[in-house]
Amino acid sequence: MTVSVHYQVAGTTAAEISASVEAGVRGGDLGAGAPLPAVRALAQALSVSPATVAKAYQALRQRGVIETAGRNGTRVRHRPPVASSRGARRLPVPPGVLDLSTGEPDRRLLPALGSHLAALAAEESSPIGYAEAGVLPEFADRARERLAADGVDAPAITATNGALDGIDRLLAAHLRPGDPVAVEDPGWANALDLIAALGLRAVPVPVDDDGPTEGGLRSALASGAKAVLVTTRAQNPTGAAVSADRAVALRDVLCAFPETLLVEDDHAGELASVPLHPLAGATRTWAFIRSVSKPYGPDLRVAALAGDEATVARVAGRMRTGAGWVSTLLQRLVLRLWQDQDVAAAVAAAGKSYDRRREALRAALGVRGRTGINVWVPVPDETGAVTTLRDLGYAVAPGALYRQSSAPAVRITVSRLADDDIASLATAVVRAAGGVGSGIFSA
């Protein structure tokens, strides 16, 4: 998406210039990825000094509205923390094009909620007031049991409104603007946007099939990173999963930096077909987050956040002074889903369906990625690949949304992909990428 030729940045002070750019984003004239003029060019157009424009751009970068894209100059971030009057800024998908860019689970495989909602409505329970609100003891107990079954010993548990909400509260409670955060590269686009919006600095850690690399994590922490974000399984976008050997190596690195905030995201949860190898407890300050969005539905804004007592208390305390608590109705609904054996069987079947489709596409392309709903395909030219695939009937996500310094690629989500579509899609990807082979994957 490009900047409107009709929108002109205005102002004579840094504050006015930054406000003008934000107004363009807010009004929809500066969309996601829209390029901004170079500092000297804008300074000349506005008859101000380059230092004034540089200061305005610096303020916008610190707030996560814009980003510097190397040779591509300065542009509006994919998800700036400014609401636009024109709504979501995803690239439009033309009619007849199969949308494989969303990163969402297959809605056909999500558990039906109707009977559980009806059962909740029929239960005799008093309305919850402010004094009684908070994490339900039975929710915390059940979450603790489920995590313990996967090797996560949880001294304390709370609930947040999804994984990203938990990460937001953790980073805000422990870090200050300008602090560096070690984050996977390529990594979750939403986390990168959140880090920028909080005024933090992302430090890339390379990822291979077994998770963040040992050398990459050691380098990031040695350079001063105060926190590290790790995806345990179904890493978005690569499909990596922390292996047993890699977990041992990463623990050894983390033990040398005991004051680091360690945040683990196990968003796939029950959908994952590989065992969990957690890093929980490798540092004094840690949190392990498991959302219910992928297995049970994105609209269920609930995640269990486990960690040491001080870290969990900070998150719960910060929530109490803001949103207050995660709806107890949602907590009770999730409890019912956790306790329903038919739902458990449906989630397990969904996981096998994702595995089958992902493995078929991965094998056809000769790329890696062991878990999750996405396939990460290296390409020499992202723009060309995305455009060619769209013309061939497939919408995919450009890798630039997820990358910091790693090589170009595209992300393909398999949740809307039928088995019969895989061969034709693979042929289209090879054509768009100019040839894909088993050695081309690059983290």
Range list for CATH 1.10.10.10 in the chain: 14-76
pLDDT at 204 (0 to 100): 97
Which of these CATH numbers, 3.30.160.150, 3.40.640.10, 3.40.50.1820, 3.90.1150.10, describes 114-339?
3.40.640.10
Which of these CATH numbers, 3.90.1150.10, 3.90.1150.60, 3.40.50.1820, 3.50.50.60, describes 98-108+344-433?
3.90.1150.10
pLDDT at 249 (0 to 100): 98
pLDDT at 29 (0 to 100): 85
Range list for CATH 3.90.1150.10 in the chain: 98-108+344-433
Contacts of 380-389 spanning 24+ positions with Cβ under 8 A: 380/408, 380/433, 380/434, 381/408, 382/408, 382/409, 382/410, 384/432, 385/410, 385/429, 385/432, 385/433, 386/410, 386/432, 388/428, 388/431, 388/432, 389/428, 389/429, 389/432
pLDDT at 85 (0 to 100): 64
Q: Within the chain, which residues score under 50 in pLDDT?
A: 1-5, 87-88, 436-443
pLDDT at 68 (0 to 100): 81
Q: In 3-state terms, the chain is what percent helix, strand and coil (to 5)?
A: 40, 15, 40
Question: Looking at the domain covering 14-76, what would its CATH class be?
Answer: mainly alpha
Q: pTM value?
A: 0.86
Range list for CATH 3.40.640.10 in the chain: 114-339
